[in-house]
Amino acid sequence: MVVTATDPRSAIEAVFRIEQAKLIACLMRIARDVGLAEELAQDAFLAALEQWQRNGIPDNPGAWLLATAKNRAIDRFRRAKLIDRKHAELAGEQSIFGESEAPDLDAALDDEIGDELLRLMFISCHPILGRDAQVALTLRLIGGLKTEEIARAFLVPEPTIAQRIVRAKRTLAEKRVAFEVPRGEELSERLASVLAVIYLVFNEGYSATAGPDWMRPQLCEDALRLGRILAGLIADEPEVHGLVSLMELQASRLGARMGPQGEPILLLDQNRARWDRLFIRRGLTALERAQSLTQSRGPYALQAAIAACHARASTAGETDWAQIVGLYGELGRIMPSPIVELNRAVALSMHMGPEAGLRIVDALATEPILKGYHLLPSVRGDLLVKLGRNAEARAEFIRAASLTQNAQEQTLLLKRATDCAASI
């Protein structure tokens, strides 16, 4: 591993962030408690800060951290007078932690680490935890983010995030949640939870729900990293590749979604020359992989297929809206949702004209789930503008602006309302 930094502490912190998830995953074998495993990892990090700044970063920092954490675990169990009970557990890990042979340390971090990381992902997203707790714990343990980084990313007070993480770890310990990969039907349900957490993180980065910034690209990057790790660990699950494809394709637009003052640039107005072709190639490859694994596409693969239609179009005018309408229809059949139907209305308006889309949007007006959803009046305002009904459109844009908590989006909607007023 090669890490360069002018500040030794920064270099050590970078190494630890890379190794942290693997380290905690391995420590879960002996700790059987996610909170204790993280504490042991932090103890090893503090030891590394002391020794590596003096002696330099070792050739295999992961193995060094793991050996140090294992020794700290033994000391802790001994102090707690639990050494007799833990001795048998530790003895069973000799081939993993390599107390007698150093190469086994490498095996613990490389050859067998996949299963451990997968177990850690499933325990971080366990259904006994609320979604907010799942997100915070996943970013903390697998993403390697500090508590203050998670708080800053989601515009939540740091003590709130800290409490979520502490409570999540306490809940997992009290419920004695098994550190294992679920099997059979439970696997699909639990995997869906993991995918939902990763995509929630990505979406918050792609279109921030609140605050002064239109996007938070670092969250997109964190989610993509988690998705790529998961795709490497569960290579035969089509929806995992579907989610990765969707995120890669969406991420390809990040550089074109914002103007010089941080203002939003909507899809049809974006300079497609600024779309990242590497992300697009990765996304299309992941989509092909997802489609090769099953005859029936799941929700993420279908959304990725929609994103692929945009990615393949060199200009907005070349977009295959008919295919997108069909894909949204298929998505709505397997995952009925007013939000999916709203998106289908937009695609239909592009394919058949604003009147066709407006009929669907008006039918959605009574949906309870869309009552406070700012994109409903925003879409309706856009369709009314195309029909020349600017007074009505202005009212819709003002309503949409009052519902969003994102400052940049609010500014955009109010500007559209002003433009409508000038055209009345």
- pLDDT band per the 50, 70, 90 thresholds, residue 92: low
What mean pLDDT is reported for the chain?
88
Please check whether residues 314 and 250 belong to one and the same domain.
Answer: yes
The residue segments making up the domain with residue 102 are: 8-111
CATH of the domain at 409: 1.25.40
Q: Has residue 383 been placed in a domain?
A: yes
Is-contact 412 382, C-beta < 8 A? no
Prediction pTM value: 0.82
pLDDT in tens, 187-202: 888 999 999 999 999 9
* Mean pLDDT, residues 87-107 taken together: 45
* pLDDT reported for residue 338: 96
Single out the residue of 23, 233, 227 nearest to residue 115, CA to CA: 233
DSSP string, 48-115: HHHHHHHH---SSHHHHHHHHHHHHHHHHHHHTT-HHHHHHHHHTTHHHH-SS-THHHHHHHTTSHHH
> What tokens appear for 393 in the block?
């459109």
Q: What is the chain's length?
A: 424
Single out the residue of 125, 168, 141, 145 nearest to residue 41, CA to CA: 141
Query: For a pLDDT cut of 90, what percent of the chain falls above it?
Result: 64
Q: Where are the alpha helices (DSSP H) in 92-211?
A: 94-97, 103-109, 113-124, 131-141, 147-154, 158-174, 184-206
* Mean pLDDT, residues 156-163 taken together: 94
* pLDDT reported for residue 184: 80
Single out the residue of 170, 166, 232, 227 nearest to residue 200, CA to CA: 227
- pLDDT band per the 50, 70, 90 thresholds, residue 35: confident
* Of 319, 335, 364, the domain-final residue: 319
* pLDDT reported for residue 106: 43
Q: Has residue 160 been placed in a domain?
A: no
Only one residue has tokens 């932090």, namely: 42
* Of 95, 111, 127, the domain-final residue: 111
What whole-number distance in Å separates Cα of residue 253 and Cα of residue 145?
24
The residue ranking higher by pLDDT, 99 or 182, is 182
What whole-number distance in Å separates Cα of residue 113 and Cα of residue 71?
19
Please check whether residues 295 and 406 belong to one and the same domain.
Answer: no
* pLDDT reported for residue 186: 85
What whole-number distance in Å separates Cα of residue 285 and Cα of residue 274?
20
> Per the structure, how many domains does the chain have?
3
DSSP label at 210? E
Q: Has residue 340 been placed in a domain?
A: no
Q: Has residue 325 been placed in a domain?
A: no
Please check whether residues 372 and 408 belong to one and the same domain.
Answer: yes
- pLDDT band per the 50, 70, 90 thresholds, residue 13: confident
What whole-number distance in Å separates Cα of residue 185 and Cα of residue 203?
27
pLDDT in tens, 232-288: 999 999 999 999 999 999 999 999 999 998 999 999 999 999 999 999 999 999 999
> Phi and psi dihedrals of 236, rounded to 5?
-110, 15
Which residues, at least 6 apart from 221, have a Cβ–Cβ distance to it below 8 Å? 205
Q: Has residue 102 been placed in a domain?
A: yes
Please check whether residues 283 and 373 belong to one and the same domain.
Answer: no
Q: Has residue 240 been placed in a domain?
A: yes
Please check whether residues 267 and 378 belong to one and the same domain.
Answer: no
Please check whether residues 246 and 297 belong to one and the same domain.
Answer: yes
* pLDDT reported for residue 72: 82
Please check whether residues 101 and 48 belong to one and the same domain.
Answer: yes
Q: Where are the alpha helices (DSSP H) in 273-334?
A: 277-292, 299-312, 321-334
Is-contact 348 357, C-beta < 8 A? yes
Q: Which residues pair with 258 in a beta bridge?
A: 264
Q: Has residue 132 been placed in a domain?
A: no
Please check whether residues 201 and 303 belong to one and the same domain.
Answer: yes
Is-contact 23 66, C-beta < 8 A? yes
pLDDT in tens, 299-352: 999 999 999 999 999 999 999 999 999 999 999 999 999 999 999 999 999 999
Please check whether residues 251 and 299 belong to one and the same domain.
Answer: yes
pLDDT in tens, 373-408: 999 999 999 999 999 999 999 999 999 999 999 999
Give the number of other Cβ atoms within 10 Å of residue 259's Cβ.
Answer: 12
* Of 319, 336, 368, the domain-final residue: 319
Is-contact 234 289, C-beta < 8 A? no
- pLDDT band per the 50, 70, 90 thresholds, residue 89: low
- pLDDT for residue 94 is more than 60: no
Please check whether residues 404 and 302 belong to one and the same domain.
Answer: no
Q: Has residue 1 been placed in a domain?
A: no
Amino acid at 351: H
